[in-house]
Structure 1
């Protein structure tokens, strides 16, 4: 992997780290929510799909920057989860959630980094630098475990404490039929994007192989 690729992946991870450094103290100090202590508020921050997915961006960004030739099923799955999850995060936020909040100061900066800058950097970085060949149908199926486990955890936890991280999974407000329909829609978005990434990855891999053959001939 080239130096620009490694630098891009490292930058993607750094953007998320900066956002979390800004956001965590703000969350800890925010006494207007449902959680009573700073520790509980910070712990709750890490139940948001946005935050968890951005952590996957950090893990895979650092892994690709430090050891770009490493290959494993686990890395392939979490890299696909990072790319898919952050793409869905950007799409869902900007279509459904952006107008719900009026953020100022550092919180607005962290919001832009997590919901806009990170999705753009990760998706564009994947298109430009790959790495190619990490996706197949088995990896796609395994990658669906992450959002499904998050959804299951969120619904069970929400039923126990009557709190949900996003309006579209808020059972107390909309009921299970509507939340199930919303969840199916987002799952469908995951599947469409996963199929698109698989097709693009194969096409770009073939293009790279053909280009390499021409250069070597």
Structure 2
């Protein structure tokens, strides 16, 4: 949680200062902040922070909404790490504090979140309805991003840029991301059961 929080704050500071090297376009501060919260990376790190914080206070924390957000955060941060490593990292030429923030939110936070869940759970916490509901946030993000990009011309990631890549390639990319999300959610469900205490039962 701390790693994700520090990484987000560094990225926010770079955004406010307008010194990011990710884009050469200059936007007013309100637009830069709007773009900032529109990044899947930022959202996934924020959801991780929001769902881990209750565990700091109570390691056995539970609740129907928390379960959905917990699984969503786990899957979203994993996708963040995978997409960054395989699609965005080769394009990265960051330096200084921006590079540090980039590593924290794209590499360290995903790795630590997954390892933390595997080691400490808590479990069992995942059911079939939880898997289905956890897909709502990332899929809604994809839809909203494409709609907003079509209206404004700004896309947070090059692989979603319809104007540059065309509708068909972007649609295939979105389909692949959706399949990845569903696969990861299902895998977490299976692992949750395997790693649970044998006599434990999963609440509906």
Q: TM-score, normalised by structure 1?
A: 0.86
Gap runs ≥5 in structure 1: 1-12, 210-217
Match of 1:46, SS state, is helix
Does 1:46 pair with 2:37?
yes
| Structure 1 segment 80-99 matched on structure 2, within 5 A | 80-99=71-90
Q: Distance in 1 between matches of 2:126 and 2:24?
A: 40
Gap runs ≥5 in structure 2: none
Q: Is the 8 A contact 1:16 1:113 kept in 2?
A: yes
RMSD (Å), alpha carbons: 1.5
User: Residue 170 of structure 2 aligns with which residue?
Assistant: 179
User: Residue 192 of structure 2 aligns with which residue?
Assistant: 201
Shift of 1:61: 1.1
State which structure, 1 or 2, has the greater radius of gyration over its C-alpha atoms.
Answer: 1
| Structure 1 segment 63-212 matched on structure 2, within 5 A | 63-207=54-198
1:208/1:121 Cα in 2 relative to 1: closer, same or farther (>3 Å)?
Answer: farther
Q: Is the 8 A contact 1:53 1:85 kept in 2?
A: yes
Q: Is the 8 A contact 1:56 1:82 kept in 2?
A: yes
Shift of 1:208: 7.6
Q: Is the 8 A contact 1:28 1:39 kept in 2?
A: no
**What is the number of equivalent residue pairs in this alignment?**
197
Shift of 1:207: 4.5
User: Residue 23 of structure 1 aligns with which residue?
Assistant: 11
Q: Distance in 2 between matches of 1:14 and 1:73?
A: 25
Bigger helix fraction: 1
Q: Distance in 2 between matches of 1:86 and 1:104?
A: 23
Q: TM-score, normalised by structure 2?
A: 0.91
Q: Distance in 2 between matches of 1:81 and 1:33?
A: 32
